[in-house]
Structure 1
């Protein structure tokens, strides 16, 4: 009779543990990153060859987590955030250069339209004033666009500093959890919650850069960047540092175990990699193109004016001043009066428009942008087209990466997330098992009492 009671009591205990695991799952149905729990049951054997068994035992509480699916989810998160961060800057840049109010192409059209209007009466003070006004407006378009791109670069650099700080914090937390998990598992304590928390931190880290994750035999995780440089190894953590080189550009350094490594940002992936690609693949090239156009315009116009004469019969003076070192005043209009515009090819002939016609011809001046020598207007149109094309392609890539990330999340959830319908079935099954085992114990007691009553 005691064997029957023992079997019943083991079933009750196993059912209690299973019910507790189900309750924990249901309680955490909305907890982000929670991995559901499942009891591992195995039968207990008897002590002799004629024994029918010793009941049931819960050998462990299994945390349902698939490493392969987690790795897929982390990679998908890296890709999604790379394209998402890139799109923020591409959208802003496209809006700047294609805006009617800041378009250099519109400014060029207005400037050359003013020159064309004055070609019939080059001595007109009013028309000369219009030329100066449109020249100033054109210079302002160059300067405003260049300054706005500079503002974006400043925001990008600030975002890089913030991301580096976030990465360092996540890496430190992962290393600390490694130490806690190692300590708790060595004493046989439950680490399921800590492991969930650690995986959530790794998912957050994967948003900023592509990472590689490996689990050691002791349960700790090693995390490295895609280029192999370590961020976390056990309870040792690396720290990223941002510095500025002589050119005023930001550089990254990884300090790990008191050793510094220069970090190559190209190919980092994630949001941090997107910042590098946007800085050197979109924003700085756009600035370089603007400088090339501004320099070519200033040289073409000034060289033409140098061969002409103003209303006073004096040799021509430069109209534009190009300053490649300036971030807010790359192109300016010199301090010329309307009479000092050298539109005549002959001194004293105020109605002569030969130099003015030559200025109109400078509209076709070639400038090398993107490796091609094209007229100024075409150069700017090419810049707008390249940015728009990159933006459209990135949008398509972002949509695809978002779909992949959603599928990866769904695959992970199919194994690890809590399904209330499934848990409800388990709840009823374990409750019935509990009641049935209680009935076994009750029956054992009745039999035992019946035997005692025989004496």
Structure 2
């Protein structure tokens, strides 16, 4: 075969390889996480210094991916999902407090209004019955809100358990892909599809936790949590586990290669970090504040009634019971009859309202709630205000994080994603190159035939 034919065949083979790469790109135009391919060519030297050259060879079919832009996208994804996971619960909590909470605020007003109405006729049984009815309604509203907050906590903890299982599955899949990629590259195979799959899994993993990714020898990747705890190294994957404490709270730990690491959840980032933030920043805080309100109301009302006497001249009995260990019975009304309310200041004065007037003044009494001296109504308003403020801040942060993630995705796609117009042009260009090289081979063959005919 003449050198001209060899050059033509090498050009044809290179053009065919480039066309195959473009065909693969076009076929995966809408494949999530796909990184486009490009054919890298190099010129071949000729057999001597007097030759024009030896043609062209394909040096590699390169996967176009930029590590920095991938890392940037993963970090933006982590930030976005941290705020997104928290916002779902903040919206729900704000709605619950605005609904059931309005009943608590109104319930306090109706309770003290009923006391005020009875102050002119403290011995009137219907008035006393109305006080008991408003007290029961207040306890039901408070217990209802406490139950809904507890249900949110249960849902959040179930979600955390589901995420931990998902992270463990992703870590195992990443370890297996690492092994396949190293094996494929060691024998000179094509690992581009495997690498795309691995990057896609890391992107999914970054939704749940803040991860750090570094290249390892042989084509593998090492994945660690933000604080440096190893999650995946080569073909070894760590596993997260959850321990439920007595109070229902959850501890998360990581086991890797026989070593167990306790994890600080406030540093995990992603959805896991967002769940921790809203659990400890808002849900548990709201439940604690509600419990303090129930405790203070119980103490004030029962202490005041203990100074009075009922219609039968007996010493006052407690109206309320506070039970911090009960979700649905945090605040309960005791089984008192209307005549057993101890409103009188003196045992033998049925029409006395001394203790009742003291109870009415409880509406303006300041108590210690979350370290501040406030009335019960003020305490609830502060609770609702704190939740609303936290929700607004998080919504603003979520919008910013979403915009950053969108930009990061666009930057990644500008490098790695397939452009239909660019690939269409590449197909036409390489097809022309293929046709031209086929023409070179045809001419070389004709020249060779003419040479043989002349001999």
**Equivalent residue, structure 2, for 1:119:** 119
Deviation at 1:101, TM superposition (A): 6.6
Deviation at 1:348, TM superposition (A): 2.9
**Equivalent residue, structure 1, for 2:417:** 417
Q: Is the Cα contact below 8 Å between 1:100 and 1:106 reproduced in 2?
A: no
| 1:207 and 2:203 matched | no
**Equivalent residue, structure 2, for 1:353:** 353
After superposition, give the CA deviation of every residue in 1:166-189 in whole Å (9 maximum; x if it has no partner): 000000000000001111111000
**Equivalent residue, structure 1, for 2:6:** 6
**Equivalent residue, structure 2, for 1:305:** 305
**Equivalent residue, structure 2, for 1:337:** 337
Q: Is the Cα contact below 8 Å between 2:207 and 2:270 reproduced in 1?
A: yes
- What SS does structure 2 have at the residue aligned with 1:76? helix
Q: Give, in whole Å, the separation in 2 of the partners of 1:450 and 1:129.
A: 122
Deviation at 1:280, TM superposition (A): 1.1
**Equivalent residue, structure 1, for 2:58:** 58
After superposition, give the CA deviation of every residue in 1:131-190 in whole Å (9 maximum; x if it has no partner): 101101111111111111111111111111111000000000000000011111110000
| 1:198 and 2:198 matched | yes
Normalised TM-score (structure 2): 0.98
Deviation at 1:371, TM superposition (A): 2.4
Q: Give, in whole Å, the separation in 1 of the partners of 2:106 and 2:7.
A: 89
Q: Is the Cα contact below 8 Å between 2:100 and 2:144 reproduced in 1?
A: no
Q: Is the Cα contact below 8 Å between 1:102 and 1:145 reproduced in 2?
A: no
Deviation at 1:349, TM superposition (A): 2.3
Q: Is the Cα contact below 8 Å between 2:100 and 2:145 reproduced in 1?
A: no
Unaligned runs of 5+ in 1: none
Unaligned runs of 5+ in 2: none
| 1:186 and 2:186 matched | yes
**Structure 1 segment 178-327 matched on structure 2, within 5 A:** 178-327=178-327
Q: Give, in whole Å, the separation in 1 of the partners of 2:95 and 2:110.
A: 21
Q: Is the Cα contact below 8 Å between 2:100 and 2:141 reproduced in 1?
A: no
Q: Give, in whole Å, the separation in 2 of the partners of 1:388 and 1:402.
A: 21
RMSD: 1.1
Q: Is the Cα contact below 8 Å between 1:115 and 1:356 reproduced in 2?
A: yes
| 1:436 and 2:399 matched | no
- What SS does structure 2 have at the residue aligned with 1:407? helix
Deviation at 1:319, TM superposition (A): 0.8
**Equivalent residue, structure 1, for 2:76:** 76
**Equivalent residue, structure 2, for 1:171:** 171
Q: Give, in whole Å, the separation in 2 of the partners of 1:369 and 1:12.
A: 82
Deviation at 1:121, TM superposition (A): 1.5
Q: Give, in whole Å, the separation in 2 of the partners of 1:142 and 1:17.
A: 72
After superposition, give the CA deviation of every residue in 1:309-351 in whole Å (9 maximum; x if it has no partner): 1111111111111111112101000110011111121223222
- What SS does structure 2 have at the residue aligned with 1:218? helix
- What SS does structure 2 have at the residue aligned with 1:266? helix
Normalised TM-score (structure 1): 0.98
